[in-house]
Chains A and B, each alone.
Chain A
């Protein structure tokens, strides 16, 4: 009996080890799999050429990813510019100013937002943001815009990353010792001065980590952006131009890719690019956050 229990423990432990190793190695397998599938196109032209050429003519075998990379950067940039200040101010309000009663109502709403599926954000973008840009914002700046633009993509993405930034920044702000803030307040600083000179400085690594994480989230978001971005394979020159981010490229062209040579390899290369960038960004921010956590635990 005793023997049996120990053997059972050992067998189960090995099984769990295998499952753990398998699920962790998914990261590697994805990277390797995508790389192998991209080999045909990498043999055909160099990394540099693929990344900097603007010619996207699959039928002629020309695959230049520059417009898509720029589309991604524009959309992500706009999203961060909108979301970061709003989220920082919100987090400061929630952690420093809001009375307990209001805080208890606010936090769940931010969490609810994170549960909404991407496609719903996309529908909202089409129904609300597009008409808003077309009728009320764009006419002030340009002659004509359909509304389907990198600005629309950026706004929708910004709303999507609100909960991510707010929850991380709030968590970081909550870990700042009260003594530190009280010392500043006791010296006669106003609350805002304390936030600016004490909290903000203390929370800097956490804020950077949250931003990097938000950027990588925005990079990979597919369907919501695809629905509002216009999907035009040219480099955007203003916020009212249409853009065509990398994830949208993959999602839009999967059906037809098998009939054109190299097309599937090109799309897998796009996925590989996304994977590499997001992998690196995630590692950076997660290591920063883990280190912060450990510092506080001591």
Chain B
């Protein structure tokens, strides 16, 4: 009896320890980034593009990378939405009833979600070579769009499943076509669409491997789709590899900027998701 009690307590302590490690690792990471990044943070970092001699420690900032990342994440999310909203509608509204087909489609999108970004990057590079596009903003947007489509489709799909069937039946029984019913449903899931956008944006802004060969790198802010664009994660990666201490410090500061952007996005989306789940359980 005592042995069982000891065993119970032993594992309970182990579980608490494991939980502390797992949930504490978040603080450890964000804490490390803040601790190292804050001393190198300055107004110049977010308002200036790299000046002459930036990479040997002279002045400048990473505005080019911030803007480039926002362009790529924004562009790919918009492009991804244009593709994934119709796909999600088709799966849920037009194929409803054909369960096997829909479930198979879901598995395919889950698999696409699991494919690493480096493979998307390599594939995006193949497409670019095939069409003769050079590393550019456009190339980056195309590769990242491929990456975010499965995220968008699956998130929208999940949200659409929460829409009460009565709502769909009601609009159909009033004589609406399936497309008109879809518009009703889209209005109903508006906060869910917003969550999907944030998720996709967050993933897109932080990804490196997909833009590594497709977007290129540039010290200037791109003014057209055919110019190469710097991205924040790539800027972090390059600067960290520098032997110059100043430049390494800027890598920490850039990491801090990226972390803050991503944290804001994640928190916003979880707040929205919570509000939405309240809404639908009504």
Q: Which residues of A contact B (CB under 8 A)?
A: 5-6, 8-9, 12-13, 15-17, 19-20, 22-24, 26-27, 29-30, 33-34, 37, 85-87, 89-90, 92-94, 97-98, 106, 108-113, 115-124, 126-128, 159, 162, 166, 190-193, 195, 213, 216-217, 219-223, 227, 247, 250-251, 254, 267-268, 271, 274-275, 278-279, 281-283, 286-287, 290, 294
Determine if B258 is an interface residue (Cβ-Cβ < 8 Å).
yes
Judge whether B110 is part of the interface by a CB distance below 8 angstroms: yes
**Contacting residues of chain B (13-63) with chain A, CB-CB under 8 angstroms:** 14-19, 21-23, 25-26, 28-30, 32-33, 36
Residues of B within 8 A of A193 (CB): 4, 8
9-residue interface stretch from B163-171, B172-180, B220-228: B172-180
- Residue B118 lies at the interface, judged by CB distance under 8 Å to chain A: yes
Q: Which single residue of chain B is at the shortest CB-CB distance from A247?
A: B118
For the complex of A and B, 3 pairs with smallest distance between CB atoms: A117-B206, A220-B116, A89-B18
Decide if A222 touches B15 in the complex (CB within 8 Å): no
The size class of the interface chain B forms with chain A is: 35 or more
B residues adjacent to A (C-beta < 8 A): 4-5, 7-8, 11-12, 14-19, 21-23, 25-26, 28-30, 32-33, 36, 83-84, 86-87, 89-91, 94, 103, 105-112, 114-123, 125-127, 146, 149, 153, 177-180, 202, 205-209, 212-213, 233, 236-237, 240, 251-252, 255, 258-259, 262-263, 265-267, 270
What is the interface of chain B mostly: helix, strand, loop, or mixed?
Answer: helix
Kindly report which residue of chain B lies nearest to residue A257, judged by CB atoms.
B213
Q: For B267, list chain A residues within 8 Å (CB).
A: 112
Beyond known contacts A16-B89, A121-B29: 18 more, CB 8 A cutoff:
A16-B87, A19-B87, A20-B86, A30-B123, A85-B18, A86-B18, A89-B14, A90-B21, A108-B270, A111-B266, A117-B206, A120-B206, A123-B236, A124-B28, A127-B33, A220-B115, A220-B119, A290-B106
Check A117 against B90 for contact (C-beta < 8 Å): no
Measured between alpha carbons, how far is A24 from B270 in the docked complex, in Å? 28
